[in-house]
Structure 1
Amino acid sequence: MALTATGIGSGLDISNIVKVLVDAEKVPKEAIFNKTEDSIKAKVSAIGTLKSELSKFQDALKKLQTGDTLNQRKVSVGNSTFLTATTDKTAQAGSYSIKVEQLAISHKVAGSNIADRTQGVGEGSLDFGVNGDNFSVAIAAGDSLDAIAKKVNAATDNPGVTATVVTSDAGSRLVFSTDKSGEDNQVNVTANDTSGTGLNDIFGAGNLTTLQNAQNAVIYIDGQKVTSQSNEVKEAITGVTLNLTDADIAKTTTLKIEQDNDAVKENVKSFVDAYNSLATAIDKMSSYDTTKKTASALQGDSMIRSLESQLRSMVSQRVPTGDGSSALYNIGIKSDRYGKLSIDDDKLNKVIAEDMASVSDLFSTPNTGLANQFHKLADSYVKPRGLIETRQTAFTNQTDRITDQRAAFTLKMDQLTARLSKQFNAMDLIVGQLNQQSSGLVDRLNSLPGSVRQR
């Protein structure tokens, strides 16, 4: 009769023996798999941190790339009832007395009133002209005032006329107004009847009423008259846009423009902070702990070494400026032996106050400015298909290979377990049979005549 339980014949713990033998080969290999996977995960995490810090660094650089934030102006208006103001980097510091005599307004005309706005008013066309631009709208016999307004507003070649229907105690009438203000933008309406005189009776010469004359804005800047078609007055003062909101020639508003040194310094400080944060992250992910004798995830990595080298090189680099060349240390930014930047506040404040152009040239000159160079370097890492994405793809491929290797090794260990179990079970069966034979032989020998069982 065959044995059905392992180890019964031999008395050995076959399952444990097989497990020990398989583990002797399995455990070291799995440890290698686990260690490799942990290493890849740590590198992937470090690469993600690097990408995040580079993106933050780019955000800080964007404020310095064009120079606009390095030439910021503080604008104050004595009475904002009459105007507000914005500036660009070309605006010069100064104070201006401004009076607003009148605001620019658009031209507005209306046709004759009719009793029922839903009825057709005639058949033909209405021709419009605004500052040399013309368009025409065909009017059907059944078109109401609202239908005509809709056609005018929807005309693809409409250069800037808006039609609305206004209903008052006198009736309903169609009102045409120009989208742009100023005397140059007056709307002309010509009625053309194809049957009857309905359109001409409402929109023809003598039947149109001017509701609002076109008017230019008129202001005085330090006593000098400035006329504008719009209430947005540009370049009357270099680099300044005035937005007029009310008029009173008897009231004077003072406009004051100053260089915003605090804002400039804050943007430079943001650059330094972002650089140091990036440098700290690089150091953390590439260092070696001599006490614990452990290496960081990207310690010795060629990509990290290259990035760190390029960053340090740019920090000490001199770049062309308007009056020669300059470097970060010329405006009070210096690097220590660990690669971290610090700001000499007194020196930076002095340069910003006395030579803002040199600061702007240092950072924002196209191509050669440090902000543009740093941004280009960072972009080579974080852009799609850049160095970081390429490295992440390589890590993904490594992980996939380890997954395949682990699956193949697991199958191998399953096969080894099955083979050893089969061999030990076969041995166990033979030992059991031998034990049975031995026991039977002893019994037969003891039953022979003259045999004496010893106690």
Structure 2
Amino acid sequence: MALTATGIGSGLDITNIVSVLVDAEKAPKEALFTETETKIEAKVSAMGTLKSSLSTFQDAAEKLQSGEFLNIRTVSTGDSDFFTATADQYSQPGSYAIKVEQLAQSQKLAGANVSDPTSVVGQGSLDFSVNGASFSVAIESTDNLSAIASKINNSSDNSGVTATIIKSDTGSRLIFTSTDTGTYNTITMSATDTIGTGLSDMFNGVNLETLQDAKDSIIYVDGQKLTSQSNTVDDAITGVTLSLTKADVGSTSTLTVAQDTDAVKSNIESFVSAFNALKTSMDNLSSFDVDEGTSSALQGDSIIRSLESQLRKMVSERVSVDGVESALYELGITTDRDGKLSIDDTELSDALENNMSLVEGVFSTSGTGLANQFDDLVESYTKSGGIIDSRNDTYTSQTSRITDQREAFSLKMDKLEARLLKQFNAMDLIVSQLNSQSSSLTSSLASLPGVVSE
């Protein structure tokens, strides 16, 4: 009969012996798996840190890609109540005398009053024309004022009319307002009846009242008159948009446009700071601690080496600005021995005050401007499917392979444990049988004649 418990025959703790033997085989390999996984996780984390630093730098570079962020303007209107103003990079610094004679307004027409707005009006059509574009709305005999307004407002070919019901002491009436201001957007309207005269009685002839005429805005810039369809005037002064708010031809306001060198300087300083932060991040991710003998996650990594090389090359690039080659150092921005950028405040301020076109050209020239080059470089690393994503895919594959190897190794250890248990149990059975035979032999010898038991 086979033994059902290990170690009975030999007296050995077979389970513990097998466990120790299997662990001796398993521990070094599992430690290697864990060490490799830890290194991969550190690299993935490091890639995330690098990508974040690159994105921060890209945000700073993007603010120098366009003249919108370089040729920044400040606008002052004093304490004027007549308009507000904004100015883009194409505006020229200067002062302008502004008068607002008239604000633009929309035309408003009103139909006849009715005592009950829920009553039906008639059957036929309402025809509109605004700025040369016409549309018609079919009116059913069951339509009240609300239904008519809804049909007009929701008409797919509505060319610029909004219908609203207004209630007053004299009743309710439909008000038709041109969507846009100005005399070009005057509403022409007529009603045609197919049954009865209800529509004509409400919307034709003397029953169609003009509540407000369409008007153009009128302003004077340094004495020059300009008429506009809108209260937003963007063609009076190059690069300047005026938003008219009040009219009084007897009042003159002064508009002052100036170059905002402080804002541009701040954007450039942010760019330099972001570049240096990126360089610091790259140094930390690829460093080697001589005293501790430890390496950072990306020490010696080709991605860091390649990125450093490209950045170092770009900061020394010369950019053609109006046929003249210029570089960062001409703006007071130089590279130190550690590869970081530093600013000579005096030189940069001088460039901003006296040669803004050079500053704009070095950074934002289409294709070759440094801000555009840096943005393209960073994008190649951070975009979906870019260099960093490709590297992370490699790490994912490596992790997957280790997982497979762990599973295969675990199965191998299970088989080793089963084999050792089988071998030790077989040995234990043999020892048990030998012990049994020894005991039987001893008993037989003891029963022989002449053998005296002590």
TM tier relative to shorter chain: over 0.9
Counterpart of 1:227 in structure 2 is: 227
Further displaced range: 37-46 or 294-303: 294-303
Counterpart of 2:199 in structure 1 is: 199
Further displaced range: 168-177 or 377-386: 168-177
Q: CA deviation at 1:447?
A: 4.3
Q: Give the Cα separation in 2 of the matches to 1:298 and 1:346.
A: 38
Within 5 Å, which residues of 2 pair with 1:350-369? Answer: 350-369=350-369
Q: TM-score by structure 1 length?
A: 0.95
User: What RMSD over aligned residues (CA atoms) do the two structures have, in Å?
Assistant: 1.8
Counterpart of 1:109 in structure 2 is: 109
Q: 1:434 to 1:80 in 2, by over 3 A?
A: farther
> 2:243 is matched by which residue type in structure 1?
N
- Please tell me whether residue 168 in structure 1 is matched to residue 183 in structure 2: no
Whether the 8 Å CA contact 1:318–1:327 is kept in 2: the answer is yes
SS at match of 2:114: coil
> 1:282 is matched by which residue type in structure 2?
M
Whether the 8 Å CA contact 1:285–1:299 is kept in 2: the answer is yes
Q: CA deviation at 1:359?
A: 1.1
- Please tell me whether residue 93 in structure 1 is matched to residue 93 in structure 2: yes
Whether the 8 Å CA contact 1:74–1:257 is kept in 2: the answer is yes
Q: Give the Cα separation in 2 of the matches to 1:299 and 1:432.
A: 61
> 1:268 is matched by which residue type in structure 2?
I
SS at match of 2:99: strand
Counterpart of 1:70 in structure 2 is: 70
Q: 1:226 to 1:5 in 2, by over 3 A?
A: same
Q: 1:142 to 1:3 in 2, by over 3 A?
A: closer
Within 5 Å, which residues of 2 pair with 1:15-164? Answer: 15-164=15-164
Q: 1:16 to 1:141 in 2, by over 3 A?
A: closer
Q: 1:166 to 1:18 in 2, by over 3 A?
A: same
Counterpart of 1:428 in structure 2 is: 428
Counterpart of 2:267 in structure 1 is: 267
Q: CA deviation at 1:435?
A: 2.6
Whether the 8 Å CA contact 1:79–1:254 is kept in 2: the answer is no
- Please tell me whether residue 333 in structure 1 is matched to residue 349 in structure 2: no
Further displaced range: 354-363 or 435-444: 435-444
Q: Give the Cα separation in 2 of the matches to 1:452 and 1:363.
A: 115
- Please tell me whether residue 405 in structure 1 is matched to residue 405 in structure 2: yes
In structure 1, stretches of 5+ residues that fail to align are none
SS at match of 2:362: helix
Counterpart of 1:376 in structure 2 is: 376
> 2:382 is matched by which residue type in structure 1?
V
Q: Give the Cα separation in 1 of the matches to 2:67 and 2:452.
A: 116
Q: CA deviation at 1:32?
A: 1.2
Whether the 8 Å CA contact 1:50–1:282 is kept in 2: the answer is yes
Q: Give the Cα separation in 2 of the matches to 1:29 and 1:374.
A: 45
Q: Give the Cα separation in 2 of the matches to 1:110 and 1:374.
A: 60
Q: Give the Cα separation in 1 of the matches to 2:10 and 2:327.
A: 85
> 1:219 is matched by which residue type in structure 2?
I
Q: CA deviation at 1:80?
A: 4.2
SS at match of 2:185: coil
Q: Give the Cα separation in 1 of the matches to 2:384 and 2:31.
A: 35
Further displaced range: 326-335 or 434-443: 434-443
> 1:316 is matched by which residue type in structure 2?
S
Q: Deviations over 1:234-253 (max 9, x none)?
A: 12111000001111223222
Q: TM-score by structure 2 length?
A: 0.95
SS at match of 1:45: helix
> 1:267 is matched by which residue type in structure 2?
N
Q: Give the Cα separation in 1 of the matches to 2:296 and 2:168.
A: 80
SS at match of 1:184: helix
> 2:302 is matched by which residue type in structure 1?
S
Q: CA deviation at 1:450?
A: 4.0
> 2:139 is matched by which residue type in structure 1?
I
Q: Deviations over 1:425-453 (max 9, x none)?
A: 21122123223323433344344444466
> 1:194 is matched by which residue type in structure 2?
T
Within 5 Å, which residues of 2 pair with 1:222-261? Answer: 222-261=222-261
Further displaced range: 110-119 or 129-138: 110-119
SS at match of 1:219: strand
> 2:404 is matched by which residue type in structure 1?
D
Q: Give the Cα separation in 1 of the matches to 2:8 and 2:119.
A: 109
Q: Give the Cα separation in 2 of the matches to 1:200 and 1:427.
A: 116
SS at match of 1:12: coil
Whether the 8 Å CA contact 1:67–1:363 is kept in 2: the answer is no
SS at match of 2:97: strand
> 2:202 is matched by which residue type in structure 1?
I
Q: Deviations over 1:199-232 (max 9, x none)?
A: 2222222332111111111122222222111100
SS at match of 2:63: helix
Q: CA deviation at 1:145?
A: 2.1
Q: Deviations over 1:358-388 (max 9, x none)?
A: 1111111111111111111111111111111
Q: Give the Cα separation in 1 of the matches to 2:75 and 2:152.
A: 42
Q: CA deviation at 1:70?
A: 0.5
Q: Deviations over 1:58-116 (max 9, x none)?
A: 21122111221111111111124211111111011111221212211111111222222
> 2:310 is matched by which residue type in structure 1?
Q
Q: Give the Cα separation in 2 of the matches to 1:331 and 1:275.
A: 16
Q: Give the Cα separation in 2 of the matches to 1:355 and 1:193.
A: 70
Q: Deviations over 1:323-345 (max 9, x none)?
A: 41222222111112222112111
Counterpart of 1:180 in structure 2 is: 180
Q: Give the Cα separation in 1 of the matches to 2:166 and 2:267.
A: 53
Counterpart of 2:324 in structure 1 is: 324
Whether the 8 Å CA contact 1:218–1:226 is kept in 2: the answer is yes
In structure 2, stretches of 5+ residues that fail to align are none
Further displaced range: 92-101 or 350-359: 92-101
> 1:408 is matched by which residue type in structure 2?
A
Q: Give the Cα separation in 2 of the matches to 1:421 and 1:116.
A: 100
Q: CA deviation at 1:20?
A: 2.7
Further displaced range: 28-37 or 202-211: 202-211
Q: CA deviation at 1:7?
A: 2.6
Counterpart of 1:285 in structure 2 is: 285
